[in-house]
Amino acid sequence: MCRNPRKRRKPMTLVSSNQKTTFTHSVVKRVRSSACCGRLLLDLHAILALPAPGSDQPSAMSRTFPLSLEPLDAATQAEIEKRFLGCRFGLVRVKETGFLMPAPYAKYAEKYYNFKFLEDDVVVMTHPKCGTTWMQEIVWTMRSGLDFDTPLELGVRSPFLEFDSLENPELEPLAEWAEEFRARNPGKDPKEEGLYLFLADSSKSPRTIKTHLPFSLLNPSLPDTSKVVYVARNPKDASVSYFHHQRLVMVSEFLGEFPEFFDYFTKDLVTQGPFWKHVEEGWEKRDHPNVLFIFYEDMKEDIMREMRRLNAFLGTGYTDDQLLKVAEHTKFSNMKSRSTTNPTEAALKVGRFKAGEGEFVRKGVTGDWTAYFTPELEEKFENWVEKWKGVAKEIPFKYKINKKA
């Protein structure tokens, strides 16, 4: 028989002028069943402050987070966690928009939504595996005065805003970062308060912040306050890259092959999707003066053309010779060779990545999808596009390019 010790912690109460919502910090519980003995699961009813079964009371969180979160139904959750082992801690969906997130997101959702962006911030926003790291390194380098020799890893220089909600709750925070947090926040727990949220908030100005959150999960004032670089990648290559990433990262640990993954992807059952909804929100803001919408394929096709667009948008005023140096510094082969931009070795050592599943910086090409898409998957893709045809047929994605950067 499995023992099930449970420590009760005092709930944290978030209060707005009209509504009080309680989140219990004791968000994990032991499951007694023989099949799941010793396995940690998130107590979604605690973290979401869900009403009692049968109640008509909505599960909204707070007036300062105007959306509602709900756990997946038990059958879907059970199906997913058989193939995505890292999803065993639970998943939540944003009711109004359909975005699927790991359950710890509920603990931080209000903080993300109300994160205080500054006028000189630049936010690099993408759906996962759409050129995020490439764009982060380009933007940070251009904004740092062309610092090509920094020893700091990209995650420190350009913090990942919502990474606390993606971490495995069983793992301890990275020691050196947790030490810095405790030094600046005596008596506070980085796992409870949000270590990566702290890094983003405390970074020196001007900040370059990474996020995979769509516009709707951040404050509507973001593009009026800060600059946003939104990078979009064609969904065929994005899904292939995300497939490999989901096999690599232990927070997902997908066990299947690409056809099965693509089935989940098109059914909006992969975290941080739906893909089309995410891209749609970026596309709708493409004409905002503080938003630069860039296609990954355009960067691969003519990097200097896109560098000049970035140069004008960021107001960095570099010459073409200087931009060429940035382009060389951020070439795929160079970024893959630097531990500051390719954390594979370090992540393997601390249990964040799975051995034998490749690297964080993988191929960086356009057209890799041709090795994966069978006629059956092409048909599934076309049906998926038809479902989202309002946005899918409007955005001019390129699936092949004439020249590689």
Active site residues: 212
Residue 209: strand pairing partners? 123
Residue 229: strand pairing partners? 124, 292
Would you give the end-to-end CA distance of the chain in angstroms? 59
8 class by beta-carbon count within 10 Å (0-12 exposed, 13-18 middle, 19+ buried): exposed
Q: State the Cα–Cα distance between residues 194 and 161, nearest whole angstrom.
A: 10
Contact 294, 117 (CB under 8 A): no
Greatest extent of the chain over all pairs of C-alpha atoms, in Å = 69
Q: State the Cα–Cα distance between residues 304 and 182, nearest whole angstrom.
A: 43
Q: State the Cα–Cα distance between residues 403 and 405, nearest whole angstrom.
A: 7
User: Long-range CB contacts (< 8 A, 24+ apart) of 63-67?
Assistant: 63/16, 63/17, 63/18, 63/19, 64/14, 64/16, 64/110, 64/113, 64/114, 65/109, 65/110, 65/113, 65/114, 67/94, 67/95, 67/96, 67/97, 67/109, 67/216, 67/217
Residue 14: strand pairing partners? 21
Q: State the Cα–Cα distance between residues 103 and 166, nearest whole angstrom.
A: 9
Cα→Cα distances 18→57, 62, 178, 203, Å: 15, 9, 35, 33
Residue 70: strand pairing partners? 93
299 class by beta-carbon count within 10 Å (0-12 exposed, 13-18 middle, 19+ buried): buried
Structure-block tokens of residue 212 = 């995979």
C-alpha closest to that of 276 among 367, 377, 139, 383: 383
